[in-house]
Chains A and B, each alone.
Chain A
Amino acid sequence: MSELIRFENVGKIYKTGSVEYIALHDVNLSIDEGELVVVLGPSGSGKSTLLNLLGGMDTATTGKIFFAQTEITAMDDMKLSQFRAISVGVVFQFYNLVPTLTALENVSLMQDLGISIMDPMDALEMVGLGDKKDSFPSQLSGGQQQRVSIARAIAKQPRLLLCDEPTGALDTGTGREVLKILQDQCRVHKRTIVMVTHNSLFAEVADKVIYVKNGTVVDVKENKEVKDAYDLNW
């Protein structure tokens, strides 16, 4: 399979006033198209930072990041927005739906990006929420909100789907459903998925597991055998 993402000596330093904090240093990794990658590590280890750099949501301090042979670390703000709009879908731990928009409107919002997306209703139905289209986020459960957020991410049919602790705020049962939907996105729809979690169980559903500790990649494992989300011993 062809390489979709490559990190070359990537580092990220946060500056708060005069204090510098090294969140990532010297990260090298490669992700192939169509893979489901799980990034594992303890809290504060730099997982989210890595994901943010990958999605062009933050800028690396050092090093280069390539997406489909294009260097995204060299893009200006405008190009980066375009990159995010066309190629990246994001799912957050706390869903981050716009509270004043209904489920359907949250998905339709992607139309305002000026890109062609799938019918928002189809996206909602894909996550099993066709009947909740007119509900506002406050009227939905956590799992339902996360599914709307996935519908929003996949509606634009991105090549890359980024999920930061997507089940972190959900109970086991709901978490499993959400994980299943994501796994299907990879298997059925051939989307590359990078999922951040501190739950080591999730390693079993991944094609590739990247272990992060103290701001750097300590190990990368390829799974020969991949479990179905419902077969996880969770």
Chain B
Amino acid sequence: MSSTQSLHSLAFRVMRLCRPTFHVETPLQFDPCDVVVGEDLFDGDSSSDAHRHLLRSQFASGDSSSSDLTYRNRFVLSDDSDAMGLPGLLVLPQSFGAIYLGETFCSYISINNSSNFDVRDIIIKSEIQTERQRIMLVDTSKTPVESIRAGGRYDFIVEHDVKELGAHTLVCTALYYDNDTERKYLPQYFKFMVANPLSVKTKVRVVQETTFLETCLENNTKSNLFMDQVEFEPAPRWSATILKADVHHSEKDGHTREIFKPPILIRAGGGIYNYLYSLKMSSAPTKVEGSNVLGKLQITWRTNLGEPGRLQTQQIIGNPFTRKEIDLKAVKVPSVIILERPFLVHLSLTNLTGKKLGPFRVWLALSDSKEEKTVVISGLQRMDLPAVEAFESLEFQLNLVCAKLGVQKITGITVYDTMEKNTHDPLPDLDIFVDSDL
């Protein structure tokens, strides 16, 4: 609320009108049984009729009739839950507060005529100015306000969905005739900053056929944020399901579950909450390769009395999509493997494309780590495979041997296409258990 300018009859008074809040305050109200008698008075046989009368009379005195001219209601507890200090009284916003992207800025604007004369023909304009644009909220140019009498008021309420970050200015102007014949111009400026309430970080992981999207929401505001809805809108060709932790059986209470939706609360000043979605391709992969748009997040949060805020993220990109040409699988691995005794692993290679591929060469690639491989090919270190027709499979066997006991990994079985001259991704690690001979 800015100060008046003494030359003007008119002045703007502005008050941010976000929703009111419930007043909460631990009251200093007491039950007479807790004040005028010892706490154990009602134990055992020492209770007398008089004391029980006291009990009953204090219950009866719970009504506050208008003929009761005392401030009894500030001292005596009438209902048990009065002690909660939540009478249901609403309070007007007491300060401007912080404004965040995605909220709706709402303000009461009152133009006061504090002079002794009427003012006439008032053209009122109110707009929001940001770095990028000016948005007109109110403009009475076409139908000017006829007059505001001395001591009178003209009020309006403006609303604006905040979609930009940074400095904003609410500009209020009035063009009017006062007692002099010249036209007066009153501009007033109210500045505020808009900050980003949430940071969204995403991680994409692909496990076998499913893409998992992990999103982390971080609360940058000064108050706790309650997430009303966080929905992932998948791009075409994708479908998404949200994954939630199972509820412990002791928390499943049929009666209260309808009423108590556990709030998803993200703490002020850096609290986080994670969401996990599993995404599946809903239709067969096309020939398009390259960057992979998964979709975007629509986030709705609420603050007091349901005041909503809404944001959506930019498109979330998944891992670049490359079509697999071949599928390499382990078909059979022996259940008993003895130390230093060769064993056969049966594998199959499937040609996923529509044209003949190969011939191929198979070997066990050297590992990246400095550790020596414990499982190696027994015999020739390279195997040659013939070409495979379109959509056909070829089965082959590798003769392997392991030099170490216990749980070991078969890693790095790699297939190389000798025609196309490209190396395919190796077979994912296989775990085996190597037993001793004894």
* Genuine A/B complex: no
- Which B residues contact A (CB, under 8 angstroms)? none
